[in-house]
Structure formats: structure tokens, C-alpha cells
Amino acid sequence: MPKQPGQRPKLLLLMHILYQQTDEDHRLSVTQLTEQLAALGIPCERKSIYSDIETLRELGCNIELRRGPHGGYWVSHRRFELPELKLLVDAVQASRFIPEKKCRELIRKLEGLASTHMASQLQRQVYVTGRPRTGGQQIWNNVDRLHEAISTGKMVTFGYQKSDGQLTRPTVSPWQMAWDGGYYYLIAYQDQTTPSGIRHYRVDRMKSVACLSEPRRGQKQFASFDLAQYLRSRFQMFGGDEVRMTLRCANAMQNTMRERFGTGPIFVEEPDGHFHFDTNIVVSPPFFGWVMGFGGQVEILHPQSVRTQMRDAALACAQAHSRLDPQ
């Protein structure tokens, strides 16, 4: 049989139809596939569909057939399964630095990796919280330039607004990017000011990121750097002095402490229904708030200086709420 017009793109269109419209619960028969191709201007015979599907299988497409009533062909395996796509959608939604418009664009692209039926399930689960989102197109440029600097081993400079509103322009050696609390952070070495050391910067607070020609520094400091420990020791990524301290907790807090500090700390059981452990923590207001949030189930034992700061913070909080009728 001579080839009919449009036969060359037929294989690609057939693959597109199968990937977009089928899954285990939604199959297409040969008749339906033939009708859809004809609607796209590519008439074909039923037997050619069988040979085309075999060709697609040989090329690595996971196309299955269910015989009998309501049977048909469907794509049985995709690059991303539905639960994986849901996790990716959740991650996009949780990011505060992705603007709402860009957030929806990314979700639409993720939907394109599923069948139209699966995509409708993603749409039903999507909930844009409406909470403030920071950043815009500038943040995409920032991320791109920072990754370029990290991969090429060059220093960077950028305008930066601190949490107190102060504007600075640091020049640092970028080493890693980290995600914490819905924000993207650059982890870098800085030796332009005293004291030098490892610092972190929120990417959405940066402006005019520029890659420099100067090679980055800090190889010695990052040779044994543990990013996970760095993030665990900082509450809401606040800066401050990192202190080795002992925490005493009610036994019911064991899972919570493991989730926060990992498997490194050794929990020492006590006979009165408590346990204690040592860990490094950056002393900051969010840390004190975290301790107070457990209502006495977490106690700072050592050092005494941090214990005193904790007591003063708790007294100040209690005093601020001591009035029965606030004005």
C-alpha cells in the first residue's frame, strides 16, 4: 500500500495521543486511535496502528493492552508517576520565593508530564495559599548566576537587604545552595569583613548578582563542611553564636528531637521520664521561641549563659501578656 499523506508524523502523533490521553484507568481502542488520527488529518488503517504501536514499544515506550470490554491501549509507565508529580507540585506550592504567576506556570508544565486525566487530579489538589510571596523574574536571574558561579568556581557580588532593612553589597565565595523554610539560600565563604567565615544569604533579598573573574576562596573551610548540620543548628536561618548546649526533654519529645537534630545526638535516658542530649545550636530569638513552644517539655540545662537568656526571654514574653485587658 502506498504511503498516504501525513504518514511521517503519524508515529509521533500516535505517541503524543497515548501519553496525553491514556493511563491505566483510561484506555483507547484501535478504533478510537484511528479516529483521532483522522481528525488530525492523518487517515490510516487499523492494521497500521498495530505495527506503529509495536514500533513505539521497540523504541522504549511502555504501552500495554487490555483485551475485552472497555479494553484498549495505555501508557503503563511514565518518567514521573502521579504521586511523584504531586510531591513536585507540593514543593512548588511551598516555595515562598516563587511568584504566584511563575508558580502556576511551573504547575502547568508538571501537568504536561501526566495524562490529561492525571493532570486533572493535580489541578484538584492545588491550593495557592495566598500567603505573601517574595521575588519575581529577578530571582530566576539570581539563581542562574549563582549556580554559574558555583560551577565555575568564581566569586560573586550582589546588593543585599538584611532582615533589619540595612542595605549592603557583599563580595563572597559561593559554594552551595540550600532550601530551608520555603526560602532559597546561598551558602558562601566571606573574608571581606571581620570575622571571616561561612555565611548564608537569602536569594530573594539579593539584587544585581554579578559573577567575578576572581577564583573563589574557602576551600579549607568547606573541605569538611556539613550542610545538613549547618541547617539543623539554625532556627529560621537566624544568625548568631553557635553554642554547644545540653537540652533536657520529656520522653514524649524523642521523635520530635530526632526529626529536628537527626541521628547524631546521643539520647541519655533519665529515671524520671526524661532524657538529655548535647548538640550545637545557634542562639537566636527563634530558638528561644521554639523552646517556649513546647510548654516546659524542653529545658536548656547548659550552658548557664544560654539558660539565663532563655529565662529572660520567657519572663519578657510573660510580662507582655500579663495585662488582662490589653489596649
CA dist 14 to 48, 151, 228, Å?
11, 40, 46
Is residue 228 situated within a structural domain? Answer: no
| Of the residues 167, 193, 223, the one at which a domain ends | 223
Digit-coded pLDDT (tens) for 184-197: 899 999 998 888 99
Tell me, yes or no, whether 29 lies in a domain: yes
Whole domain around residue 56: which residue ranges?
10-75
CA distance 240 to 196: 14
Q: What is the pLDDT of residues 57-88, one digit of tens each?
A: 888 888 999 988 888 998 888 878 888 888 88
Lowest mean pLDDT among 25-39, 66-80, 120-134, 215-229: 120-134
- Domain holding 305: CATH number? 3.30.70
Residue 101 domain-assigned (yes or no): yes
Residue 3 belongs to some domain of the structure = no
pLDDT at residue 298 is higher than 90: yes
- Total of domains in the chain: 4
Looking at residue 52, which CATH number applies to its domain? 1.10.10.10
In this structure, is residue 263 part of a structural domain? yes
Q: For residue 123, which amino acid is it? A: Q
User: Which distant-in-sequence residues (6+ apart) come within 8 Å of 323 by Cβ?
Assistant: none
Q: 251 and 205: one domain?
A: no
pLDDT band of 213, cuts 50, 70, 90: very high
pLDDT of res. 11: 83
- Establish if 303 belongs to a structural domain: yes
Strand partners for 222: none
* Residue 2: band (very low, low, confident or very high) from pLDDT cuts 50, 70, 90: very low
pLDDT band per the 50, 70, 90 thresholds, residue 8: low
115 residue type, one letter: S
Reported as a single tens digit per residue, the pLDDT across 126-137 is 555 555 555 566
Judge whether 199 and 209 are in contact, CB under 8 Å. Answer: no
| pTM tops 0.75, yes or no | no
Q: Is 229 exposed, middle or buried (0-12, 13-18, 19+ CB in 10 A)?
A: middle
The reply to whether 64 falls in a domain is: yes
What mean pLDDT is reported for the chain? Answer: 87
Q: Are residues 204 and 251 in the same domain?
A: no
Looking at the structure, do residues 252 and 313 belong to the same domain, yes or no?
A: yes
**Beta strands 274-282; 206-215: pairing state:** unpaired
| Mean pLDDT of all residues in 27-32 | 91
Residue 39 has pLDDT above 90, yes or no: no
Look at residue 131 and tell me if it is in a domain: no
